[in-house]
């Protein structure tokens, strides 16, 4: 195990807590499943409206927008030789990985940005819209910030199709060149897109796991996804790569939240979905962030921005702490 750990405790259910230092943007779970299985009756009152908790279950300052932006815009990387730190988003097809990247850029630029291509059809596609490894620099109105988010193909619930766990791990370690087109056959050192000796700027220091809140459920198909995740985690955990979960589409998952995003921490449904992810995936609640991505808006707004920036701030802090320990491959 790496001797270098960040200060963010992450424990996976099947592995010792000290081995669990990962930031992962994970986009999981099958589109189209609208309920959370057996817990449905507990979350939904008999009249069909979502349960509103009197007290918010997480203290959240809805006025920290400018403070967060300022901190991120003046962020200094722990390694001054690097111009940016790389972060990787991964997760299931259609969970909102590309939309999250666009939402981060939109929050900084104050207008809707669509750099990362998003599947506008909203269909329950069985293939990933994003196929190649794409790097997206995070920018504000004045230029580049020291962050780059890499977007990859979505994970599929079938064992042998789509992006393979090994490719995610190789991407984190910096072995995969930009624009590489993923396939079901993991990249090997013979491939012309394989980087034999990656530099620090090729490597990612946080894995962000994007999960669709609508579909949080672990049935047999999801178990295959879980297996893929466990394989990824197993490889990167010992290297102290931090892991963060971003829970997307909270607007679709809870009516209360759809009507007023500020109700997010009053929503029992969202709380239960986050707890479910925490238990099943093993990431502590403190490293799980619910967001609504920009998806049909023409203007940005403070409430959407603040949830996006809060998640991004934690991702960046975790990555920066890991970066101070050197290469992502130990």
Interface residue list for ligand GTP (CB under 6 A): 27, 93-99, 118-120, 122, 128-130, 154, 248-249, 251-252, 292-293, 295
- Choose among ligand GTP, Mg ion, none what residue 6 binds, the Cβ cut-off being 5 to 8 Å by kind: none
* Nearest residue to ligand GTP, by Cβ distance, number only: 154
- Determine the Cα–Cα distance for residues 317 and 71; give it in Å rounded to an integer: 11
Listed ranges 97-105, 170-178, 195-203, 217-225: which one lies at the site for Mg ion (CB under 5 A): 97-105
Instruction: Output the smallest distance, CB 220 to ligand GTP, in A.
Output: 21
Q: At what angle are helices 220-237 and 165-172 packed, to 10 degrees?
A: 30
Binding partner of residue 8 among Mg ion, ligand GTP, none, CB cut-off 5 to 8 Å per kind: none
Q: Does 214 bind Mg ion (CB under 5 A)?
A: no
State in angstroms the smallest separation of the CB of 83 from ligand GTP: 26
Q: Is there a contact between 97 and 130 (Cβ–Cβ < 8 Å)?
A: yes
Nearer to ligand GTP by Cβ, of 206 and 311: the residue is: 311
d(CA 219, CA 165): 20
Shortest CB 119 distance to ligand GTP, Å: 4
Pick between residue 214 and residue 278 the one whose CB is nearest to ligand GTP: 214
Q: Measured from the CB atom, is 69 or 292 closer to ligand GTP?
A: 292
CB of 163 or CB of 187, closer to Mg ion: 163
71 or 131: CB nearest Mg ion: 131
DSSP bridge partners of 132: 181
Angle subtended by helix axes 65-73 and 97-109, to nearest 10: 90
Which listed option, ligand GTP, Mg ion, none, makes contact with residue 292 (CB within 5 to 8 Å by class)? ligand GTP
Position 28 contacts Mg ion (CB under 5 A): no
Beta-sheet pairing, 143-151 with 134-140: antiparallel
Nearest Cα to 288, choosing from 270, 303, 305, 301? Answer: 270
Nearer to Mg ion, 53 or 125 (CB): 125
Decide which of ligand GTP, Mg ion, none touches 93; Cβ closer than 5 to 8 Å per partner kind: ligand GTP
Nearest Cα to 21, choosing from 8, 3, 36, 2? 8
The yes or no reply on residue 98 touching Mg ion (CB under 5 A) is yes
Residue 198, binding choice from Mg ion, ligand GTP, none, Cβ under 5 to 8 Å by partner class? none
Q: Which residue, 279, 263, 285, 312, is CA-closest to 60?
A: 263
Cβ closest to ligand GTP, residue 28 vs residue 237: 28
Determine if 130 is a binding residue for Mg ion (CB under 5 A): yes
Task: Quickly list DSSP for 97-156.
Answer: HHHHHHHHHHHHHTS----S---TT----SS-S--B-EEEEEEETTEEEEEEEEE-PPB-
Single out the residue of 104, 215, 82 nearest to residue 150, CA to CA.
104
Handedness of CA 72, 78, 81, 82 (dihedral sign): negative
Residues found near Mg ion in the complex (CB under 5 A):
97-98, 129-130
């Amino acid at each position: 195990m790496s001797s270098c750990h960040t200060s963010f405790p992450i424990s996976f259910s099947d592995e010792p807590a000290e081995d669990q230092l990962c930031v992962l943007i994970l986009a999981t779970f099958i589109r189209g499943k609208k309920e959370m299985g057996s817990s449905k009756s507990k979350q939904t009152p008999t009249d069909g409206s979502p349960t509103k908790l009197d007290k918010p279950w997480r203290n959240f300052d809805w006025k920290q927008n400018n403070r967060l932006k300022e901190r991120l815009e003046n962020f200094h990387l722990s390694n001054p030789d690097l111009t940016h730190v790389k972060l990787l988003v991964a997760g299931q097809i259609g969970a909102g990985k590309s939309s999250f990247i666009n939402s981060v850029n939109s929050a900084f630029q104050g207008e809707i940005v669509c750099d990362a291509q998003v599947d506008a059809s909203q269909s329950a596609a069985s293939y990933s819209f994003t196929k190649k490894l794409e790097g997206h620099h995070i920018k504000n109105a004045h230029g580049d910030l020291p962050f780059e988010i890499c977007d990859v193909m979505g994970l599929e619930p079938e064992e042998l199709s789509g992006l393979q766990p090994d490719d995610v791990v190789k991407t984190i370690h910096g072995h995969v060149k930009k624009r590489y087109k993923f396939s079901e056959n993991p990249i090997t050192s013979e491939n012309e897109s394989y980087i034999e000796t990656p530099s620090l700027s090729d490597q990612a220091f946080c894995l962000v796991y994007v999960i669709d809140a609508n579909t949080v459920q672990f049935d047999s198909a999801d178990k295959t996804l879980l297996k893929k995740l466990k394989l990824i985690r197993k490889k990167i955990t010992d290297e102290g790569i931090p892991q963060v979960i971003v829970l997307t589409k909270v607007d679709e998952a809870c009516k209360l939240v759809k009507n007023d995003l500020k109700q997010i921490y009053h929503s029992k449904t969202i709380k239960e979905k986050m707890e479910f992810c925490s238990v099943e995936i093993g990431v502590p609640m403190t490293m799980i962030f619910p967001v609504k991505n920009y998806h049909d808006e023409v203007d940005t707004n403070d409430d959407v921005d603040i949830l996006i920036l809060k998640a991004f701030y934690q991702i960046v802090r975790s990555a920066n702490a890991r970066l101070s320990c050197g290469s992502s491959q130990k």
